[in-house]
Amino acid sequence: MKHKMLAILVVVALFNVTTHAEDVPSLKKSEEYHDIPVKVVKEVPLPKGWHEGLYFDGENMWVNNGEGINTWIVDVATGEVISEIEPVGTFSEGITPAGDGTYWVTDWETKKLYRVKITDGRMENLYDILLEPSRPTGVVWTGEHLYVITWTRGLGTRYHIMELTENERMVRKMRIRGIHEPSQMAWDGKHLWITSWYTKRVYRVDIENFRVLGSFRSPTSETTGIAWDGEYLWVTGTRSGLFQVEILED
């Protein structure tokens, strides 16, 4: 009952923020915006799927898939799928660990943010939050805040980043204006990295000051998933493999 009441309160808060979208701060390109130099270290093949969000667990890469396809746990040395997890929804988007053995998962079709635990090879729904009319894509936990990207369609699609507490309480909401069709996110300990499916670029974001600092050309088309392993970024696309990318500047 506690979780259900919390979900209701969060949904009400989200609705109120959505209806006053023009009042929220905007995430825009900064004056120092520039092309970020990178180097592709290697490519790891992935099976055919509908690749979305990534999560690196310190050894293997978790690959969420849309279209009802299972989440894969992939050996990044070989590309071998060593195990699979049955999804909680019907079109999995992002996935990020909560640090307590549970995970947040977003789903495009159900329009929900889920809190799940893994039980016998499947995602067990502990509770969920309906974000309708918005559709969530990327989700990432920084250790302090949870960030969720949403798309709201109407007379032109509006993109937002929601900043939530670990109990999914709204802190703030930002309109994304500098990134078209934002997909997934990673956190490197200082900045957010956001992929764009449309522009095929990866953007570095100063989330505290609402500024996009720079970007680099993605090594794959239809860019979706992104993860940080402590040294490198990993990027994938809807139908591509995994690319390990080295950032050549601080």
Compute the average pLDDT of residues 19-41.
Answer: 82
Query: What is residue 61's predicted lDDT score, i.e. its pLDDT?
Result: 98
Torsions phi, psi of 139, nearest 5?
Answer: -150, 140
∠ Cα 177 161 196 (to 5°): 60
Mean confidence (pLDDT) of the chain: 91
Residue 8 scores a pLDDT above 50: no
pLDDT interval class at 23 (50, 70, 90): low
Compute the average pLDDT of residues 7-22.
Answer: 45
Residue 221 scores a pLDDT above 60: yes
pLDDT interval class at 43 (50, 70, 90): very high
Quick check: 89 and 53 in contact, CB under 8 A? no
Residue 5 scores a pLDDT above 50: no
Torsions phi, psi of 91, nearest 5?
Answer: -150, 85
pLDDT interval class at 13 (50, 70, 90): very low
pLDDT interval class at 21 (50, 70, 90): very low
Domains and CATH numbers, the chain: 2-247 (2.120.10.30)
Residue 172 scores a pLDDT above 80: yes
CA distances from 109 to 97, 214, 233 (A): 21, 31, 27
pLDDT interval class at 176 (50, 70, 90): very high
pLDDT interval class at 186 (50, 70, 90): very high
Is there a cis peptide before residue 133, judged by omega within 30 degrees of 0?
yes
Amino acid at 12: V
211-217 and 26-35: which strand pairing?
parallel
Compute the average pLDDT of residues 106-118.
Answer: 98
Compute the average pLDDT of residues 106-110.
Answer: 98
Quick check: 88 and 116 in contact, CB under 8 A? yes
pTM confidence score = 0.90
Query: What is residue 211's predicted lDDT score, i.e. its pLDDT?
Result: 93
Residue 152 scores a pLDDT above 70: yes
Compute the average pLDDT of residues 49-65.
Answer: 98
